[in-house]
Amino acid sequence: MSNCIAYELLKKGKTVLYQTAPILLESIIDYKFNKNKNYNNSNKDNIYKSALEADLLIIDDLGTESLNSLKLSELFNIINTRILNLNNKITKTIISTNLNINEIFNNYEERIGSRIAGYYDIYCFFGDDLRFRK
């Protein structure tokens, strides 16, 4: 579903960043602490800037990342910036996860859980995993 939405927005000239939660958060931490010196500054700036400013950010597999206080802080900053339009533009975010809302509150800070519960429409998808079909 997320891929289809991203494709339609890209056709309309919108910017889309689609990334798994673990890679997104690690990339931002690498940017903040300049761990990955293989990238030049413009590439690192684009990763961080895109997470905040892309017309659509898709965070895939939330809940599969290893958590620490730094990652929680960065996740909060991303979600909060995009919800409150602190980036001075209207942006949308899709979060896919296998966690239910109670697990989100248990795994993340209340301020992250409350923003997800309060500002996002929550849809549950049921059925067979298409990856298991031959």
Give the pTM. 0.87
Res 127: pLDDT:
83
Res 48: pLDDT:
87
Res 35: pLDDT:
61
The radius of gyration of the chain from alpha carbons, rounded to an integer in Å, stands at 15
Res 117: pLDDT:
96
Distance CA 16, CA 52 (A): 11
Render each residue's pLDDT in the chain as its tens digit; 134 residues. Answer: 999 999 999 999 999 999 999 999 999 999 888 765 555 555 555 788 899 999 999 999 999 999 999 999 999 999 999 999 887 889 999 999 999 999 999 999 999 999 999 999 999 988 887 778 76
Domain positions in the chain are 2-132
Q: Please state which CATH number belongs to domain 2-132.
A: 3.40.50.300
Res 4: pLDDT:
95
Q: Per the structure block, which two tokens stand in for 59?
A: 């965070």
Residue 93 backbone zone (phi > 0: left; psi -120 to 50: alpha; other: beta): beta
